[in-house]
Amino acid sequence: MTAAATAVVADRLTKVYKVYASPWGRLREAVTRRPAHVPFRALDDVSFDLPVGEGLGVVGENGAGKSTLLKIVAGVTRPTSGKLGVQGRIASILELGSGFHHEFTGRQNIRLSAAIVGLDERELRERTGDIIEFSELGPAIDQPVRSYSTGMMMRLGFSIAVQVEPDILVVDEALSVGDGYFQKKCMDRLQGFVAGGGTLLFCSHAMYYVTAFCQQAMWLRQGEVVASGPALGVVGEYERFLMAKSGESARETDESADPVSTQARIVAIRAVGAAQRRASEPWALEVEWESREEELGFHLAVGLDTADGVQVCAFATERAGLPPVRGKGSHRAVVRVRRLPMTKGDYSACVFLLDEESLHVYDRKVEANVLEIEAERFEPSLFDVPHEWELDGRRPGAHDEDAP
């Protein structure tokens, strides 16, 4: 392992759990010395290298072994076989409440967690105030953790993990709970960690976050690596698998739904003029939203989906280089398409109201039948791609002097 360049090296990690049919199975096995369990391979020969300063996203269906892998890297459990090398201080955000002593207060659990990651007394004193401030738990920090809600535990766990300044941060699905405001705060902090050169191992069902935070991705299925490589390629392959399996949009099937924020919401989505259009005609979509806070900034993203859930094109204000829209009250945006390349079909619009970094989702709505393209004749394809023919070395309709 090259210490200067590699943060995590996993070599053929395998984890086998013993599954007993009843609570007495373990005792019967110990007494009789005969197997009373069924082996379950949660991970099977998983290998990867995670360079310092990069992000690795782990994707896959429930039960694929993602959480088991993250627990092994975080040191919560040991592999049955294989080798793991970790270089640097590591912090983790796994299942809610994992690593907490539920009879201790939040403040006492900060001290406990700090000792686990190796902070000395001076570092603990310096960072305790920042941890409590980021968590926004207020007086609840001195109450037993057993009295905390799931959202409060997520706040405490994330605050500890990011404020101890780890070299490697391991994040499971914990960020899918909690209110929209704190989710955004966590995403901003996570983005700052990655931008500052932190090493991230990230597991999520939200493919957008995987591609936003991670350069590389790994797809697990039944404990085995199906694909690994650049995040966009692996995510695309995984989404195509989900579409083939379910017949539905992978985005709709697998992406965890974001709770509607109380800070901003989409009010209306409508086509400008008639929704019916012919191919090559212009088209426009209008979106209205409301903000309840003056300082918030917003980007919009719009996707056009076919009736079977395939997204054929997408538009985003951030990608177009536009600044975020700010201010309390009502806002309106119109996206205009000069020429429709599609030849036929009915389309729905999936609209995302995003924060100024295009990471946190304040609201998401789908409006059906915003575009209906009428074909003059049968069209076997979805798109009209500009092209030309060459027959016997000549292009029909071209003058001789234009021929190559």
CATH of the domain at 327: 2.60.40.10
Q: What is the mean pLDDT of residues 173-191?
A: 76
Lowest mean pLDDT among 245-249, 360-364, 380-384: 245-249
CATH of the domain at 187: 3.40.50.300
Looking at the domain assignment, is residue 385 inside a domain? no
Shared-domain flag, residues 60 and 164: yes
Q: Residue 133 has which token pair?
A: 């401030």
Q: What is the mean pLDDT of residues 16-22?
A: 84
Where is the domain boundary, 210, 229, 254? 254
Phi, psi of 128 (to 5 degrees): -60, -45
Question: Does an H or E element contain 107, and which?
Answer: helix 106-117
> Is residue 129 within 8 Å of residue 136, measured between CB atoms?
no
Q: What is the largest CA-CA distance in the chain?
A: 94
Give the model confidence (pLDDT) of 91-126 as tens digits: 888 766 667 888 899 999 898 887 877 778 888 888
Give the residue, 19 or 230, on which the prediction is more confident. Answer: 230
Q: Sheet harboring 329-337: ordered strands across? A: 264-271, 283-291, 329-337
Question: What percent of the chain clears pLDDT 90, i.e. is strictly above it?
Answer: 40
The pLDDT value recorded for residue 11 is 95
CA 68 to chain centre: 18
Shared-domain flag, residues 186 and 157: yes
Q: Which domain holds residue 339?
A: 264-374
Where is the domain boundary, 194, 220, 254? 254
Q: What is the mean pLDDT of residues 281-300?
A: 93
Shared-domain flag, residues 230 and 98: yes
Shared-domain flag, residues 119 and 174: yes
Rounded to 10 deg, the angle between the 106-117 and 150-163 helix axes is 40
> Is residue 366 within 8 Å of residue 348, measured between CB atoms?
yes
Q: Cα(300)–Cα(305) distance, rounded to whole angstroms?
A: 16
Give the model confidence (pLDDT) of 258-267 as tens digits: 445 678 999 9
Supply the mean pLDDT for the chain: 85
Shared-domain flag, residues 63 and 195: yes
Looking at the domain assignment, is residue 388 inside a domain? no
Give the residue, 339 or 55, on which the prediction is more confident. Answer: 55
pLDDT band of 394, cuts 50, 70, 90: confident
Can you point out the beta strands (E) in 306-386?
Answer: 311-316, 325-326, 329-337, 345-354, 361-374
DSSP letter (8 states) at residue 369: E
> Is residue 75 within 8 Å of residue 101, measured between CB atoms?
no
Q: Sheet harboring 37-51: ordered strands across? A: 37-51, 6-20, 81-86
Shared-domain flag, residues 182 and 93: yes
Shared-domain flag, residues 313 and 233: no
Lowest mean pLDDT among 1-5, 154-158, 344-348: 1-5
Shared-domain flag, residues 346 and 236: no
Give the residue, 7 or 163, on which the prediction is more confident. Answer: 7
The pLDDT value recorded for residue 95 is 67
Shared-domain flag, residues 72 and 113: yes
Looking at the domain assignment, is residue 259 inside a domain? no
pLDDT band of 48, cuts 50, 70, 90: very high
Counted residue by residue, the chain has a size of: 404
Shared-domain flag, residues 207 and 69: yes
Looking at the domain assignment, is residue 391 inside a domain? no
Shared-domain flag, residues 229 and 310: no
Shared-domain flag, residues 85 and 12: yes
